[in-house]
Each structure stands twice: as structure tokens, then as C-alpha cells.
Structure 1
Amino acid sequence: MSETIRLPQFMRDAELRAASFDEPSNTIEVIWTAGATVRRRSWSDGPFDEELVVGDKTVRLDRLNLGAPFLNSHNDYDLRSVLGSVMPGTAVLKGGKGYASIQLTRREDAAGIVQDIRDGVIRNISVGYKIHAIEKTERKNQVPLFRIMDWEPLEISAVAMGFDPVAQVRGGKDTELHECRVVRGDPDLNAVRRIRMMQQQRQAGIGR
């Protein structure tokens, strides 16, 4: 049984390999996916785990290998945000990871950002991708698992901070969510009294 739904562009943290910068060619290597499972949240369905399946039959590399853009913070509305592009033919899958070489721009207006990438000051990157097919599995006492069986990387971006797994919409204006552990105070006042009594007894030398 299957159904069709509409999804926005999604994003995932990726790895910028600053040590791979090559001065003569002005290029750098990135790992644009490692296929990890992350926790996401849908306003309609609640939390779920998303697993990117990395394989020759699940990832569409055509757009990357045609020279997809390397952007500043997923901004695809302004040419000045283009910091480079994927070198054609360099996007490959090896050992469950996706690799690519990026040709960086030499434009003066982007020189500061490119220099920070070269120096390893800017370390975080993110990949934007489109999902074409999902395998959804309901799990007892767990959130559902969405295995992404057919997906297409659209662009790679340098970002100030890696995106939280719940950030789904490109340039979304909705409030981003994150997990927060709530520690509740002990309402049992007798427990507090017992602790104070034990402290007093220790101070008086009782019970040593």
C-alpha cells in the first residue's frame, strides 16, 4: 500500500575536510552524507526517525555531478551566495558515504568566507536534498522509522552551525524545535528533612 505526500527540501549536516584544500586548483573535498539516522518532527505526525539509505540504487547523483552549487547557508536566491560548485563527475559513493570535490570561487566579495573555509575556521556544511520515496515502518513503543529509499542531493552549503535534525524547511520561518531534558523537583518534603537530619547527624558525629 502506498500514498503520495508533499515534502519540503530537507537538510543534513555534512563534513568539510579543511585539510584537503588544494592551493593550485582552489578545491576542497567534502563528505556530503554519511547516511546516519536522525530524529525529526512533523507537525502532522509528530516525531520520527529518518534514515538516509546510501547506495547506488537509492541516491540520485546526476544533479551533483552536473555541477551543483556550493552555497552560503542554503541561500539559492542570490548569485552572490554561490561560493563554488561541485566539480563535475566527482560525486561518488564509497563505504556508505558520499564524497565530492568543490571548486571554490575566486570572487572578491566571497574571499573572506572562502579564506575561512581554507583555514578551517568555517567547518560546518550541510546538504540540501529532495526525497522521492520513503519506506515507513511502525515500531512498537518507538517512533516510526522513515527509510529514505530514493533521494536526490540538490546543493551543498557552508553553514555557521550544523542544522538541528528537526530543521526541515529551507529558509523556514517556523520556530525550530530541539529536545530539552526537564528535571523535576522532588515534591516529597520528608526527603528533604531526612537529608538535613543525616547532615546534622554527620556533623555531630552520629552514625560514623
Structure 2
Amino acid sequence: MAEIIRLPQMLRDAEVRAGSFDDAAHTIEVIWTTGATVRRVSWLEGEFDEELIVSANAVRLDRLNSGAPFLDTHGQWSLDSVIGSVVRGTARIEGGQGLARVKLSAAPDAVDRVAKIKEGTVSNISVGYRIHSVERKERDGKIPLHRVIDWEPWEISAVPIPADPGAQVRSAKSDMFDCKVERALADDNDVRRIRLAMQQRMAGLGR
């Protein structure tokens, strides 16, 4: 059983590889995903665990490998937020991790921020991504598991504090995207339980 839901761009913690700054090339190496399972909460789905599948078949690397931006705290509305870019062709999957090389900007308006990254003062990284397809699995006595089997990283950002993986901030300006949800149901009891939960949720919204 499948359905289409609408999701915003998601965020995940990532990291700069320690000691990876190359002075001659002005680049750093980043680990933009490890695929770890994280707890999320959404007004539509409630509480669930999200597991990113990190494999060549699950991750769409075209945007990163086309020179995706390296941003200051996910800034999307000004060119001043662009403090680098992914070196074309360097985004890859190795050993269950997503890796890439980032070229840092030498522009005068980015000097202060880039200097903090070079010296290691700023080492927290966050990746923004779109989910295309998930596999939802109901688990007895536990919250549901969303296995993200098709997803697309769009940008990488330097952040002062790692992004909260459980936060899904929605606003009138947020872009929303279609996501296919495959529901892995064990038996008819799962169907009845989901229908009951949906009826209770809708009843609550109607108050």
C-alpha cells in the first residue's frame, strides 16, 4: 500500500573531517551523512524513527556532484550565504558514509566565516536533503520506522550548533515536495490499528 505525502527539505547533522583543510587547494573534506537512525516528530505523522539508507541505489548524488552550494546556516535567500561549493565529482558513498570535498570561498565577504572553519572553531556541518520515497514499518510496542530508500542531498551548510534532526519547521514560505510512502504491513491488525489512530487524530483536530 502506497500514498503520497508532502514534506519540506530535511536537515541532518554532519561533520568536517578533522585536519582535512588543504591550504593549497583551499578545500575541506566533509562527512555529510552516516545514515544514523534519528527520532523525528511531525504534525502529520506524529513521532517516528527515520533511517537514511546510504547506498548508491538510495542516494541521488547529481546535485552535489554538479557543485551544490556550501552555505552559512542553510541561508537560501542571499548570495552572501554562499561560502563555498562542493567540488564537482567528489560526492560519493564509501563504507556507509556520504563524503565530499568542499571548496571554500576566497571572497572578502566570506573571509571571517571561512577562517573559523579553517582554524577548526566552526566544525559543525548540516546537510539539507529532499526525501523522494520512504518505507514505513509499523512495530509492535514501538513507534513506526521510516526507512528512507530514495533521497537527494541538495546543499551542505556550516552551522554554529548542529541542526536538530527532530525539527521540522514549516512556514508559508517553505517549499514542500511529494514523497512516496510504502507501508509495510504485517497483517490486518496493523491496518485496523492505523485506521483507528488516524480516526483519533482527525477527531482531535476537529475539536
Question: The TM-score by the shorter chain falls in which range?
Answer: 0.7 to 0.9
Equivalenced residues, count: 173
Question: Is there any run of 5+ residues in structure 2 with no aligned partner, and where?
Answer: 174-207
Distance 2:104 2:77 in 1: 19
Larger proportion of strand: 2
- Provide TM-score, normalisation by structure 2: 0.81
> Could you give the per-residue CA deviations for residues 126-180 of structure 1, whole angstroms, max 9, x where no partner exists?
000000000000001101000000000000000010111212248899xxxxxxx
Partner residue, 2:109: 109
Give the CA deviation at 1:17. Answer: 1.8
Asked whether the equivalents of residues 15 and 30 of structure 1 are also in contact (C-alpha less than 8 Å), the reply is yes
Query: What is the RMSD computed on CA atoms of the aligned residues?
Result: 1.5
Partner residue, 1:125: 125
Asked whether the equivalents of residues 52 and 148 of structure 1 are also in contact (C-alpha less than 8 Å), the reply is yes
Partner residue, 1:57: 57
> Could you give the per-residue CA deviations for residues 17-68 of structure 1, whole angstroms, max 9, x where no partner exists?
2410000110000000000000000112211000000001000000000000
Distance 1:172 1:22 in 2: 41
The question of 1:83 aligning with 2:78 is answered no
Kindly indicate whether structure 1 or structure 2 has the higher relative contact order, using CA contacts under 8 Å at least 6 residues apart. 2
Asked whether the equivalents of residues 10 and 169 of structure 1 are also in contact (C-alpha less than 8 Å), the reply is no
Partner residue, 2:168: 168
Partner residue, 2:21: 21
Distance 1:121 1:18 in 2: 12
Distance 1:134 1:9 in 2: 14
TM superposition outliers: structure 1 runs of 4+ over 4 Å:
170-173
> Could you give the per-residue CA deviations for residues 182-204 of structure 1, whole angstroms, max 9, x where no partner exists?
xxxxxxxxxxxxxxxxxxxxxxx
Asked whether the equivalents of residues 18 and 28 of structure 1 are also in contact (C-alpha less than 8 Å), the reply is no
Partner residue, 1:145: 145
Q: What secondary structure, in the 3-state scheme, does the structure 2 residue paired with 1:137 have?
A: strand
Q: What secondary structure, in the 3-state scheme, does the structure 2 residue paired with 1:3 have?
A: strand
Q: What secondary structure, in the 3-state scheme, does the structure 2 residue paired with 1:22 have?
A: coil
Distance 2:18 2:170 in 1: 25
Distance 2:136 2:160 in 1: 32
Distance 1:172 1:163 in 2: 21
